[in-house]
Amino acid sequence: MKTTHNFNAGPCVLPKEAVQAGIEALKDFNNSGMSVIEISHRSKDWEAVMNECRALWKELLHIPDNYEVLFLGGGASLQFCMVPMNLLEKKAAYLDTGVWAKKALKEAKAFGEVVNVASSAESNYNFVPKKYTIPADADYFHITTNNTIYGTEIHTDLDSPVLLVADMSSDIMSRPVDVSKYGLIYGGAQKNVGPAGVTFVIIRKDILGKVSRHLPSMLDYRIHIEGESMYNTPPVFSIFIMTRTLKWLKNLGGLKAIQKINREKADLLYSEIDRNSLFRGTAAKEDRSLMNICFVMAEGHESLEAEFLDFAKSRGMVGIKGHRSVGGFRASVYNACPKESVQALVDCMREFEKNHK
């Protein structure tokens, strides 16, 4: 197999142990004589996987007892409407830090008044707004903690005077999180915790049942809590791989250990971007994401963009082209991206610079 350095933004690189476990489970799950995608989701063998996955979430994030962990379908995009449907009675506040935050805000407007407390849109979302006022009468305040397209991240758990809701699709499990500061955390699994197909929701139980509108069963968090994420058939294979990914993370030392590794990887690449005469970073330094590192050609070297993409591809780099809406380059260095791949990209950038001196 050829050497490939996977920097795709999602679906993304997964631990080899999780992929191998998936291969074996596809052939024969738990010596059942059946594939993991054939077994009944009501069987004891599958219930054990669900229980293990839920327990790993609670252990790694130190989730308090008054919270539930749900595994749903529809991706984070479905949560853009499910959150306000369940929580918005009169008014909600949103922080606009990128494309996905903007989409979440748009969906919420169908359910009540929405206040955009601050936005960095005019600066092409290259920073996270800091000075804003959260309305004290808002039902909740929604943030997107990591902005994959623009490479910015909220690095701390905010203090909010109202219920705090966070889309953590692309930085969940990359660092310790004080879950008690949030009423609800959600996200797609396909960045740090598994393959596409399953959505995680961490929710404090007492915040539910407060809206007056009718809730369809499939969009009511209470129904999924009661059904233990099996009100309908769950995405079994995605949950299986997620369980194995979380086991890998636990064996690595948990969230403090992976945070240290993630900082080392990001520092390595950002240092090269800042040093290299051919490239420049796009995000404000204090808001630089540890997950999605965005950069472009330096001024006067814009014409080299396509050449560098081809050069990097020839050296095994995959997925470093920036999002189509912004161009440039993006290296997504999620948990399972090895430091060796980041070093390979740095070496590639240095070689490219040398060739153009």
> Can 46 be counted among the known catalytic residues?
no
Q: What's the rounded Cα separation, in Å, for the pair 353 and 357?
A: 6
Q: What's the rounded Cα separation, in Å, for the pair 48 and 66?
A: 22
Return the closest-CA partner of residue 296 out of 258, 268, 322, 323: 322
The catalytic residue among 100, 220, 248, 265 is 100
> Can 191 be counted among the known catalytic residues?
yes
The catalytic residue among 167, 171, 220, 287 is 167
Q: In this structure, are residues 330 and 321 in contact, taking their beta carbons and an 8 Å threshold?
A: yes
> Can 167 be counted among the known catalytic residues?
yes
Q: In this structure, are residues 259 and 175 in contact, taking their beta carbons and an 8 Å threshold?
A: yes
Sign of CA dihedral 130, 101, 76, 91: positive
The SS3 of residue 281 is strand
DSSP string covering 122-191: GGTT-S--------TT-S-EEEESEETTTTEE--S----SS-EEEE-TTTTTSS---GGG-SEEEEESTT
Catalytic residues: 100, 167, 191
